[in-house]
Chain A
Amino acid sequence: MADRFVIAAGGNWSAAGTWSATDGGAGGAGVPGAGDNACCSNLSGNLVADATSGQVCLDLDFTRGTGYTGTFSSTDTARPITISGSVKFSGGMTLTYSSRVTMNATSGTKTITSNGKTFPGGLTFNGAGGTFQLADNLTMSNNSQQSSLIQLLAGSFDPNGKKVTFNGNGGAGGVSGNAITFFDWEVSNASAFTTCQLAVNVTVTGTLKLLGASDAGAIRMASSVRGTPRTLTVNAVDAASNRVEFMDIAFAGAAAPYATGARIGNCQGNSGITFTAAVTLTWANDVSGNWAIAANWSGSRAGPPLAQDTAVVNKAFSAGRTITIDSGGTMGKDIDLSACTGNPNFAVNNAMDFFGTFKQSAAMTNSGTGSFIASGRGSQTIRSNGVTWARPLTINGPGGTYTLEDALASSASLTLAAGGFNDAGFNVSATTWTNTGAATRSVVRSGLWSLSASGSVISVATTGLTSTDTGTIKLTDASASTKTIAGGGGTFNDLWLSGAGTGVYQFTGSNVFGTLRADASRNIQFTAGTTTTSNSFSWDGCTIGSITAASHTLAKAGGGKVNCSGMTISRSTATPGTTFFALGSTNGGNNSGWTFGAGMDCSAGSFAIAGQAAGLSAQRRGTLAAGALAIAASDANLDLVRLVAGVRSSEPPAPRARPEDAARQRPSQTSRRRPAQ
């Protein structure tokens, strides 16, 4: 074991020249090893943790000499240090290190001495058999950069009667690893809405203080997994606690039920908490303003809305009004904007939860840089009233289901992270569809979904997912960019590759489709080694291949044939045999199971004369029946198939149905709904 001192000029941790064998000595002693103490004294310069790995020491000691007065920083938040001994900060130092310190002693008691310094990094305890003890109060501040401020992986954490404070400003730092016990624990913030995520159960044997700085800067105590409660067992609650909301927290212990403070928000999934009574709050005046400012709301209790409140905006606004929604994290439970007029703009500039229904007004717009998080549990609805959602919409309410009340048009992304989404047969448009995570999710799709983006336009994780799909997904991007369909091995009804342009459509996963169709000239690639199964492959004039230089498989389900023309096909294995026919197509090589040069299979009597060939779309069947039936019946050969193709291509487009039909049937198209509240 040796001491390594940072030299007077300071330097990077990873540089041998930064370290001296003596306090105030020359550099070049080499970087500390796991058995060496990394030391800073009043004679040391600034130290920068610059390495992404390999920064180790025994003790990390800033108290040598008369105490370090320099700055200890890190290049960024990914410059971890592993310490086998203890940590001592100096009261006179500047501490901006924002990465993670791991203490890994496997025996004895190692201490953390803050000397009043706030630690902006994360702490991990990972030494089976070791005890990690606070020598004084510990304050941590880096919620926005370290997702786990304290992580107990192995060993014991001994609060030693000291107080732990999480005083971040934004972000979602918290506690993870194994269940942990604090003595006094404070979670507060400087100003911005801050989440404290509990990945484990927490016990507070002393006093818990939860204090948001303002209405706009509340504290959210939340489970790290929505829908999976964490238990917070508390002996006592500080009377100054206020402006806190809970999500999936089971509050227990002598202090239960939690009931301290005038503003206690219910973000669902909680127990053991007495929440502030829910009220309806109404936007008070014809003014622009911030959602989180109390003065903008009127009702039986002061605003802004808590997570259990109904927020109503029903003003007749003057032109140019903007309501900014950018702080507080929570918009409320039921959000009813349906009766406002004057085209106010709702600018959403942060990720904002709502925990119930959402109704837009036909006379409004939305904009911003944030997103809408539909976090309700139980049955919820979304009514767009013809207004485009300009910001991403994420369904993330475990146990909840969001059902559309009308068409949903979004110029941003649509994501399902937890809960259910039911389009109720209405159209949906968005840039991308992401069905993500492992939470229990359900999708009911029966309408037409139009997805306009390139890149990862469909991304589906099937773990935890159930789907009832009778609808259609239509990809419309017309750029030269690649479109990725990551189906995750899922089952879809109808996927339509429609967007013009040279961009390749790339499939990943062995997915199943009711119909997989593409407009002419689309370039379609499948992941080598995958099997794409469909009842109907409907494409002509397209290019089929693999993403890499190996074969994919296309499997026809449900019997019948696959007939296509003008294709260029390579690295494609078609199954079952004598099922895939490519008329007038190019064999690009490395194919099997395809029949090139031949057209539709007429020999088996399954040709589309009867309009029932399973391999043909409804539109194509109709064309054949109208134009080719008599000819084909008299002379079913390959040339006639070409003729049929010509008839189809020259057919005029179907006339557009007008809404008069709907209007005439109005009585049968009406239903009663509960009113806007």
Chain B
Amino acid sequence: MNIESTTLVQIRFVVDKGGPDEFADALYFTPEQFVALTPEQLETAQIERVDNWKAMLAAAAAAPVKEVTEEEVLADIVTLEEQRAAIDEQLAAKSAELAVLTASSPTSGVKGG
């Protein structure tokens, strides 16, 4: 194996593929680490990722409703102000655009989530 020392090896793996708890993740190793890696060590690392993931989901499901902090509210306000400014700007631009249009043409956008 001739892997440049400036590369990392990505081990991409999927557990329960197609199942209700499909888990896709990746591990990164230096070439030296990768060459020394045994299948057992790799399996252990993958299982650890899966188990940590499930533990995190379980903890999230069991977590109490979080209290919002003042800092978070202030940060939200700043974000909303930015968004409002953005929307105002777009509204002004669209209004100007509408004003100069002599005829409108239908448009379609790709929406999603």
Query: What residues make up the interface of A, taking CB atoms closer than 8 Å to B?
Result: 144, 147, 171-172, 176, 197, 199, 224-226, 228, 338, 349-351, 369-371, 383, 385-386, 388, 392, 394, 405-407, 409, 411, 417, 425-427, 429, 431, 433, 435-439, 443, 445, 447-448, 450, 452, 454, 458, 460, 462-463, 465-469, 473, 476-479, 481, 487-492, 498-499, 618, 654, 656-660, 662-664, 666, 669-676
Contacting residues, chain B, for A662 (C-beta < 8 A): 11, 13-15, 46
Cross-chain contact B111 with A672 (CB below 8 angstroms): no
Give 27 A-B contacts (CB < 8 Å), ordered by A residue. Answer: A144-B74, A224-B86, A225-B89, A226-B86, A349-B71, A350-B71, A383-B28, A386-B49, A405-B26, A406-B25, A411-B63, A429-B56, A437-B86, A454-B65, A462-B112, A473-B113, A489-B111, A490-B111, A658-B15, A659-B15, A659-B43, A660-B43, A662-B14, A669-B11, A670-B11, A673-B10, A675-B8
Kindly report which residue of chain A lies nearest to residue B46, judged by CB atoms: A659
Complex Cα spacing A641 to B3, Å: 58
Cross-chain contact B24 with A447 (CB below 8 angstroms): yes
Cross-chain contact B8 with A672 (CB below 8 angstroms): yes
Kindly report which residue of chain B lies nearest to residue A677, judged by CB atoms: B6
8 Å CB contact of A427 from B42, B53, B89, B112? B53
Cross-chain contact A172 with B46 (CB below 8 angstroms): no
Contacting residues, chain B, for A147 (C-beta < 8 A): 81
Cross-chain contact B46 with A673 (CB below 8 angstroms): no
Complex Cα spacing A659 to B48, Å: 11
Q: Smallest distance from the beta carbon of B11 to chain A beta carbons, Å?
A: 6
Contacting residues, chain A, for B82 (C-beta < 8 A): 197, 224-226, 417, 437
Complex Cα spacing A435 to B113, Å: 7
Whether B69 is near chain A, meaning CB under 8 Å from some CB there, is: yes
Cross-chain contact B86 with A439 (CB below 8 angstroms): yes
Which residues between 46 and 82 of chain B lie within 8 Å of chain A, taking CB atoms? 46-50, 52-53, 56-57, 59-61, 63, 65-66, 69, 71-72, 74-75, 78-79, 81-82
Complex Cα spacing A490 to B18, Å: 25
8 Å CB contact of A172 from B20, B39, B66, B78? B78
Q: Smallest distance from the beta carbon of A417 to chain B beta carbons, Å?
A: 7
Contacting residues, chain B, for A476 (C-beta < 8 A): 57, 60-61
Complex Cα spacing A443 to B113, Å: 7
Whether B98 is near chain A, meaning CB under 8 Å from some CB there, is: no
8 Å CB contact of A438 from B11, B28, B65, B83? B83
Query: What residues make up the interface of B, taking CB atoms closer than 8 Å to A?
Result: 3, 5-28, 30, 34, 39, 42-43, 46-50, 52-53, 56-57, 59-61, 63, 65-66, 69, 71-72, 74-75, 78-79, 81-83, 85-87, 89-90, 109-113
Contacting residues, chain A, for B10 (C-beta < 8 A): 405, 670-673
Complex Cα spacing A226 to B78, Å: 13
Known A407-B49, A478-B61, A671-B12; 10 more pairs at CB < 8 Å: A224-B82, A427-B22, A433-B113, A448-B22, A488-B113, A492-B112, A657-B19, A659-B42, A673-B7, A674-B8
Cross-chain contact B110 with A466 (CB below 8 angstroms): yes
Cross-chain contact A670 with B17 (CB below 8 angstroms): no
Complex Cα spacing A173 to B77, Å: 12
Complex Cα spacing A250 to B14, Å: 47
Contacting residues, chain B, for A338 (C-beta < 8 A): 28
Cross-chain contact B59 with A674 (CB below 8 angstroms): no
Kindly report which residue of chain B lies nearest to residue A474, judged by CB atoms: B20
Q: Smallest distance from the beta carbon of A395 to chain B beta carbons, Å?
A: 12
A386-B52, A659-B47 as given contacts; A426 in contact with B85, CB under 8 Å: no
Contacting residues, chain A, for B79 (C-beta < 8 A): 394, 417
Cross-chain contact A460 with B113 (CB below 8 angstroms): yes
Cross-chain contact B112 with A490 (CB below 8 angstroms): yes
Complex Cα spacing A57 to B87, Å: 33
Kindly report which residue of chain B lies nearest to residue A198, judged by CB atoms: B85
A147-B81, A406-B26, A466-B110 as given contacts; A369 in contact with B7, CB under 8 Å: no
A663-B42, A673-B10 as given contacts; A448 in contact with B85, CB under 8 Å: no
Cross-chain contact A666 with B11 (CB below 8 angstroms): yes
Q: Smallest distance from the beta carbon of A503 to chain B beta carbons, Å?
A: 11
Contacting residues, chain B, for A443 (C-beta < 8 A): 112-113
Contacting residues, chain A, for B71 (C-beta < 8 A): 349-350, 369-370
Contacting residues, chain A, for B19 (C-beta < 8 A): 654, 656-657
Q: Smallest distance from the beta carbon of B42 to chain A beta carbons, Å?
A: 5
Cross-chain contact A659 with B50 (CB below 8 angstroms): yes
Complex Cα spacing A405 to B71, Å: 30
Cross-chain contact B26 with A465 (CB below 8 angstroms): no
8 Å CB contact of A656 from B16, B30, B56, B57? B16
Cross-chain contact B110 with A409 (CB below 8 angstroms): no
Q: Smallest distance from the beta carbon of A504 to chain B beta carbons, Å?
A: 16
Cross-chain contact A431 with B60 (CB below 8 angstroms): yes
8 Å CB contact of A675 from B6, B15, B63, B86? B6
Kindly report which residue of chain B lies nearest to residue A222, judged by CB atoms: B82
A438-B83, A492-B113 as given contacts; A499 in contact with B9, CB under 8 Å: no
Cross-chain contact A438 with B15 (CB below 8 angstroms): no
Q: Smallest distance from the beta carbon of A665 to chain B beta carbons, Å?
A: 9
Complex Cα spacing A295 to B61, Å: 42
8 Å CB contact of B15 from A405, A478, A656? A656
- 3 smallest A-B Cβ distances: which pairs? A467-B112, A662-B13, A452-B60
Cross-chain contact A409 with B56 (CB below 8 angstroms): yes
8 Å CB contact of B59 from A172, A176, A411, A658? A411
Cross-chain contact B13 with A371 (CB below 8 angstroms): no
Cross-chain contact A491 with B113 (CB below 8 angstroms): yes
Contacting residues, chain B, for A491 (C-beta < 8 A): 110-113
Complex Cα spacing A660 to B42, Å: 9
Contacting residues, chain B, for A452 (C-beta < 8 A): 57, 60-61, 63
A452-B60, A670-B11, A675-B6 as given contacts; A663 in contact with B23, CB under 8 Å: no
Contacting residues, chain B, for A488 (C-beta < 8 A): 111, 113
Complex Cα spacing A675 to B32, Å: 13
Complex Cα spacing A466 to B81, Å: 23
Cross-chain contact A659 with B112 (CB below 8 angstroms): no
Complex Cα spacing A407 to B28, Å: 12
Contacting residues, chain B, for A439 (C-beta < 8 A): 86
Contacting residues, chain B, for A429 (C-beta < 8 A): 53, 56-57, 60
Kindly report which residue of chain A lies nearest to residue B7, judged by CB atoms: A672
Kindly report which residue of chain B lies nearest to residue A491, judged by CB atoms: B112
Q: Smallest distance from the beta carbon of B38 to chain A beta carbons, Å?
A: 10
8 Å CB contact of B60 from A197, A392, A411, A437? A411
Q: Smallest distance from the beta carbon of A281 to chain B beta carbons, Å?
A: 21
Contacting residues, chain B, for A669 (C-beta < 8 A): 11-13
Cross-chain contact B24 with A674 (CB below 8 angstroms): no
Q: Smallest distance from the beta carbon of B66 to chain A beta carbons, Å?
A: 8
